Amino acid sequence: MHLRHLGLPVLDKDRSLRFYESYFGFDSATRQLYPDGTVIVRDADGFDLALHEAERVAPSPVFLHFGFRAADPEAVTALLTRLRAEGVEITEYDDEPDMVSFKCLDPDGHRVEVYFEP
């Protein structure tokens, strides 16, 4: 059994789709719209991201997050540099000998981690 799906409440599914497509490799060509308004997109590994519009997105507990493992530490720092330059809020950054990572907020305040560890 494998975790292959994440569902997120969002205020604007098109805005969120642009965010996850721009930074995290989800492909809008895979976009499927469901009768309840949920849109599901996939990345190259077949992971499904379901975005469902809500009237309000409640703040989540500080530790609650989901993460993307990068191919190498340079990929982590390259994306971090790009996100900072484009005004995405970075909430945490760690550069240790055994791990480099950061967390940022998506447009709805969901915490997204990008990390590499050998």
CA distance 12 to 111: 17
Give the pLDDT confidence score for residue 101 in this predicted structure. Answer: 98
Query: CB-based contacts of 35: which residues, under 8 Å, 6+ apart?
Result: none
pTM score: 0.94
Average pLDDT over residues 29-39: 96
For the chain, residues classed under CATH 3.10.180.10 are 64-118
| pLDDT, mean of residues 1-26 | 96
Its CATH architecture, for the domain 64-118, is Roll (3.10)
| Range(s) of the chain covered by CATH 3.30.720.120 | 1-55
Instruction: Give residue-wise pLDDT tens across range 56-114.
Output: 999 999 999 999 999 999 999 999 999 999 999 999 999 998 999 999 999 999 999 99
For position 107, what pLDDT does the model report?
A: 97
Q: Which CATH number fits domain 1-55: 3.30.470.10, 3.30.720.120, 1.20.1270.10, 3.40.50.1100?
A: 3.30.720.120
- Over residues 9-20, the pLDDT tens digits come to 999 999 999 999
